[in-house]
């Protein structure tokens, strides 16, 4: 995952609450702090998000995005 945002926080999905269009994703960070992102239900499906999945919260300005590792060993996500 290569992106211009510098603020990337690793964590695990604690809970996903789906609404009619969007979903609230709660991510527990190392140390126990939580961060919440509201993304589309389609993004939850496309990214394969589920409880317990390791993700990165990507913060750019006032938005918090969710990213998953692409699986490429040479990628900065490290897997």
Would you say residue 79 lies in a domain?
Answer: no
pTM of the model: 0.75
- We report the CATH number of the domain holding residue 43 as 2.40.50.100
Would you say residue 28 lies in a domain?
Answer: yes
Q: What is the pLDDT of residue 65?
A: 72
Give the tokens for residue 9. 């926080």
Stretch 38-45: mean pLDDT: 95
Q: Which of 55, 61, 5 is nearest to 35 (CA)?
A: 55
Structural contact between residues 54 and 10, judged by C-beta atoms closer than 8 angstroms: yes
- Name the one residue in this structure whose structure tokens are 């510098």: 6
Stretch 12-26: mean pLDDT: 97
- Name the one residue in this structure whose structure tokens are 């604690």: 14
Give the tokens for residue 79. 């897997």
């Amino acid at each position: 995952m290569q992106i211009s945002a510098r603020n990337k926080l690793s964590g695990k999905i604690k809970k996903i609450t789906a609404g009619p269009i969007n979903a609230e994703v709660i991510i527990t960070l190392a140390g126990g702090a939580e961060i919440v992102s509201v993304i589309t239900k389609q993004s939850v499906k496309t990214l394969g998000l589920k409880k317990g999945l390791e993700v990165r919260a990507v913060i750019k300005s006032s938005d918090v995005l969710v990213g998953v590792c692409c699986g490429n060993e040479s990628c900065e996500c490290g897997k």
